[in-house]
Amino acid sequence: MTISAQSVHKEKILQDHLIAQLESGEGYERRDPKVDYDRALAMDRALVLRFIQSTQPEAWEKLTQHYTASAEEVFFKQLEKALKDRGLLDVLRKGIKIVPGIALSLCYFRPASGLEPKRIAEYRANILSVMDEVEYSQKHGGRLDVVLFVNGLPVVTIEAKNLLTGSTFRNAEKQYRDDRAPAGEPLLTLKRGALVHFALDEDNASMTTRLMNGKTRFLPFNRGRDGGAGNPDVEDEHRIAYLYRSGSWGEAIFSRSVLLDVIGQFMHLEVSGKDEVMIFPRFQQLDAVRKIMAHAKVHGTGANYLIQHSAGSGKSNTIGWLAHHAINLHDGTDRQVFNTAIIVTDRVVLDRQLQGTVTQFEQTTGVVKKIDGTSRQLKDAIAKGARIIVTTIQKFSTDHLRELSGQGDRTFAVIVDEAHSSQSGKSAQAMTDALTREANSSDDIEDLIAEYQKARGPQANISFFAFTATPRNVTLERFGVKGADGHPHPFHLYSMRQAIEEGFILDVLQNYMTYKAYYQLEKAIDDDPELSGRKGQRKVARYASLHPTAIGQKVEIIVEHFRRHVMHELNGQAKAMIVTQSREHALKYFFGVQNYIKAQGYADLKALVAFSGDLDVNGEPTTEADLNGFAETELPGRFDGFKPDGTAYPDTYHILIVAEKYQTGFDQPKLCAMYVDRKLSNLQAVQTLSRLNRTRAGKDRTFILDFQNTIEDIQNAFRPFYEVTTVEAMSDPNQVYDLEGRLYKFGYLDKDEIERFAQIYFKGPLSTADRPRLEGLVRQAVARFDADDDEGRQEEFRQLLKSFNRFYAFIAQVISLDDTGLEKLASYGSWLSRLLPNRELPPEIEITEDMLRLQAFKVDQKEQGSASLSPGDTQALAAISEFGAKPYNEDEKKELSEIVQAFNDRHGTQFSEADMIRFEQVNRDILDEDLTEMLRNNPPDVVYSAFAQAFFQGAIRMFQRDNEMRNIVLSDPEARDKATRHFFNRALREARESA
């Protein structure tokens, strides 16, 4: 189409170009709106009839025979009724029926395979058409620039602007809001009318599925530009050419293949109570699914795909769409690529939103199996060939799944929700085993070990699709695609930066303020050696941080800032969170906030507290439920202010004070401020502060006051995940041999004992008699370890052994190894790590007012402003290279002594702390990779019950010969819970610090 110099500045230039491209390149038929558009029915009647009569002549003949001259009138009356009652999407998918049982299809979707020529011909018979300047209203002369039709039914409306005239897609959005009122307009009514509405200019696109006048919300529909919002330049075309023209980016969005795929397999009506939302995939969702499926169609199974999609990207929907597309994918020879799609998460409580999302895409009942029961249910679902399975990864580590075999000839798409290092744990290995295990064909131990080792690596019948917003280095190396630089990269990216720039999430670093605490202490006991050195300094700092004066000054800053800057946001519904460094700090803050509110007469302000277990308050064990006045399970709803049925609670709470709990996995869009009084680093900082990034109408800014970290600290934590996450270099797999060599140098290990261990361990299912034999072999190394009086060497060995076990499990998944000696050491080392005695806890330093007095304390503001990152401000992750020990927490011994005292007071016993430390052995017995990952990636209140059950069973096994301790564990739930809580917190810290 030739454009004159005079017409280039006309408003219609973009819509004319778009229509010309759809006609010439995508097979659209151009129709005349003045002749062909029926405003009352909001359709192209003649085209609807042409499609029905040409594709279903027998059904139309039957209709005309039954209704004679009124057949056409009856047809359109029933079609209009179906559109009003069921909506256009349902009519396109399911058609309509007319008495006496005449079924009529309004659209044919692409079949999964080409084995049925009739269905291919039907799909090709769909008629795509376009009209411009469509007068859609019977009330006035309002026009829409462009309307796209499928078989005469309108599916897309478009308002297009020309940048050269000074108008942008924002003007198009405003036109929809101000001049496209949906009331009484069938073309613009939700469900009844067009499925989606686009606002365009030459550079940008946005879309909405529901017109609500001034409340209409448009979402960006752009490809992304240089890691941020917008679209890249296109040679000799507009930047939005991907909508109407197929090119290097793939098939056009409005092409037959993409548009009908979106209507048939992506769009759905989401119903929540009285609210209805029509879901149209965002660009990154549609692009990810289609690109992944295109790659799998060509390359088959056995590949890994890392999808780095930021929070706010609609990950649950993307996972659901990917699963349904995967089970319908056929390769170039029309063979099914994936027999089953398995969606796994490491969350203890399976994400119900994910279950529901995947199920709502189900168009054939029974396709989706939600494993919300036992592992036997999972085994049956796999064995019976279920098409889509949704489960937790922990269920693969059970005896039921170990019985499963014969799946090696079937193919699986394993979709991992929140992928991270848990995919190198025992549950991940158990999943691979279950999906590949075949009957053993050899009795030779070396062959069996080689097969076991091979099963750790990549499997030809399994493709992994790993989703995460914040990939660790191991995640990138495990699932990333190796680029030209030799480093792994995500297969598909929707970055944190792009999500922020497009408004899907908020930039939580936009308003960041830091404070520095200064204190002056008077030392009552001069030259006390216990207060010298690094440990003494930490204890002194903790003493100062818990002092009522310190808490009081920070509380004043927090409450006054909240009242002045935050409280009135969101029409008074704004919330805030105080993040503290320990349970005791949370308790002190809670009382401090309450006292300050009361002293100032702030009756309109209320606070809640969240911590695990109980704490001493006036000599009585007290839980968060005792302090808040309701069960801890009610806290999220109480803090939000609304019950599950939508009715409001009588009390309004504004501030939530937390210690560990609610720092991950807590979705509260009303959070507008966070007050941080604990050190945050790396991924922990990103996950904690990201509690603030959820969007909500009226929420356009957030506030962070930080008493512990600098702006530079936080920026360093966010940098690796702001744009595409990369690694500096691949981890050197040869480090596994370095670790192996270092372990043998200690003299604790004996190769002959490891060999004899392997002969028993790998011969097949272990019998009751095998276990004591294996333990006896391992305890010979434990005896040599105990005989060494160098505690430093012992601790170094402990940590190196853990490092070897973790690194080997990781590297064996990335590379197909051919060294059974490593497999033998890994299996032996796993047992040894659990049986090694824990290092002795250092003596406690108890600081009192007799030793120190706080003379002065002040808090000064240090930094204020934006901590936001700039485009290109990124940092690559380091490769795995350091293997070291984690220091003990200084507060754990004090809690332990209190537990010992409680045991002795309640039962008249004389247990020492050394007796209680034996529970450390229980922790080592139960803390395998799976439980460690559960602790690392779930809120403490969610994972505690699973830990407590394992700890109880482990304690009974350990103390079976110690009647006194066993009887207390069995008969005294309160004492048992105190001990369990202590060792739970120990395990929780170790798991998270070793991430």
Beta bridge partners of 863: 514
Helix (H, G, I), strand (E, B) or coil at 984: helix
970 neighbors 955 (Cβ within 8 angstroms) = no
> Which of these, 959, 951, 947, 952, lies nearest to 915 by C-alpha position?
959
Helix (H, G, I), strand (E, B) or coil at 980: helix
Is pLDDT at 613 greater than 60 in this prediction? yes
Residues 263, 297 within the same domain:
no
Residues 622, 744 within the same domain:
no
Is pLDDT at 354 greater than 80 in this prediction? no
Q: How many domains does the chain have?
A: 5
pLDDT at 339 (0 to 100): 95
By DSSP bridging, strand 575-580 and strand 219-220 are: unpaired
Phi, psi (degrees; rounded to nearest 5) at 657 = -100, 125
In a domain, 846, yes or no: no
pLDDT in tens, 107-146: 999 998 888 889 999 999 999 999 999 999 988 888 999 9
Is the bond preceding 650 in cis, omega lying within 30 degrees of 0?
no
In a domain, 97, yes or no: yes
Mean pLDDT, residues 562-582 taken together: 94
Q: Among 205-219, 377-391, 538-552, 607-621, whose mean pLDDT is lowest?
A: 538-552
pLDDT in tens, 703-726: 999 999 999 999 999 999 999 999
Residue where one domain finishes, among candidates 687, 722, 757: 722
Please state, in angstroms and as integers, the Cα–Cα distance from residue 472 to each residue in 463, 725, 814, following that order: 20, 8, 15
Please state, in angstroms and as integers, the Cα–Cα distance from residue 262 to each residue in 109, 369, 598, following that order: 10, 24, 57
Per-residue b/e over 679-717, b at no fewer than 16 CB within 10 Å? ebebbbbbbbbbbbbbebeebeebbbbbbbbebebbbeb
Residue with more model confidence, 972 or 62: 62
Q: Report yes or no on whether pTM surpasses 0.85.
A: no
pLDDT in tens, 294-314: 999 999 999 999 999 998 788
Work out the pLDDT band at 24, boundaries 50, 70, 90. very high
> Which of these, 614, 549, 550, lies nearest to 583 by C-alpha position?
614
- Percent of the chain exceeding pLDDT 90 equals 53
Structure tokens at 165: 């005239």
Can you say how many angstroms the Cα of residue 829 is from the centroid of all Cα atoms in its chain? 32
Residue where one domain finishes, among candidates 438, 463, 494: 494
Work out the pLDDT band at 945, boundaries 50, 70, 90. low
Structure tokens at 761: 């361990």
Residue with more model confidence, 799 or 156: 156
The whole domain housing 402 covers 281-494
pLDDT in tens, 512-536: 999 887 766 655 544 454 544 445 5
Residues 103, 221 within the same domain:
yes
In a domain, 440, yes or no: yes
In a domain, 978, yes or no: yes
Place of tokens 């294996």: 774
pLDDT in tens, 487-511: 999 999 999 999 999 998 999 999 9
Residues 800, 907 within the same domain:
no
Residues 564, 701 within the same domain:
yes
Is pLDDT at 890 greater than 60 in this prediction? no
> Which of these, 122, 163, 166, 138, lies nearest to 42 by C-alpha position?
138
> Which of these, 880, 985, 949, lies nearest to 424 by C-alpha position?
880
The DSSP secondary-structure symbol of 767 reads: P
pLDDT at 550 (0 to 100): 83
pLDDT at 72 (0 to 100): 95
In a domain, 824, yes or no: yes
Q: What is the mean pLDDT of the chain?
A: 85
By DSSP bridging, strand 153-160 and strand 143-150 are: antiparallel
> Which of these, 125, 118, 73, 69, lies nearest to 98 by C-alpha position?
73
In a domain, 708, yes or no: yes
Beta strands in 684-741 (DSSP E): 703-706
Residue where one domain finishes, among candidates 661, 690, 722: 722
Residues 443, 551 within the same domain:
no
pLDDT at 892 (0 to 100): 46
Structure tokens at 261: 């795929």
In a domain, 275, yes or no: no
Is pLDDT at 197 greater than 50 in this prediction? yes
Collect all residues with Cβ–Cβ distance below 8 Å to 544 and sequence separation of at least 6.
517, 519, 521, 550, 854, 857
pLDDT in tens, 266-290: 998 887 667 788 999 999 999 999 9
The domain spanning residue 326 has which CATH number?
Answer: 3.40.50.300
By DSSP bridging, strand 671-677 and strand 703-706 are: parallel
3-state per-residue secondary structure call for 317-342:
HHHHHHHHHHHCCECCCCCECCCEEE
Could you give the CA distance from residue 422 to residue 346 in angstroms, rounded to a whole number? 8
Residues 263, 287 within the same domain:
no
In a domain, 875, yes or no: no
pLDDT at 887 (0 to 100): 38
Work out the pLDDT band at 975, boundaries 50, 70, 90. confident
Environment class of residue 833 by beta-carbon count within 10 Å: exposed (0-12), middle (13-18) or buried (19+)?
middle
666: left (phi over 0), alpha (psi -120 to 50) or beta: beta
Residues 337, 390 within the same domain:
yes
Work out the pLDDT band at 861, boundaries 50, 70, 90. confident
Residues 40, 186 within the same domain:
yes
Collect all residues with Cβ–Cβ distance below 8 Å to 262 and sequence separation of at least 6.
253, 280, 281, 286
Is pLDDT at 23 greater than 60 in this prediction? yes
Residues 797, 715 within the same domain:
no
Is pLDDT at 813 greater than 80 in this prediction? yes
Residues 192, 290 within the same domain:
no
Is pLDDT at 440 greater than 80 in this prediction? no
pLDDT in tens, 330-343: 999 999 999 999 99
Residue with more model confidence, 239 or 964: 239
3-state per-residue secondary structure call for 192-225:
CCCCEEEEECCCCEEEECCCCHHHCCCEECCCCE
881 neighbors 732 (Cβ within 8 angstroms) = yes
Residues 70, 109 within the same domain:
yes
pLDDT at 44 (0 to 100): 97
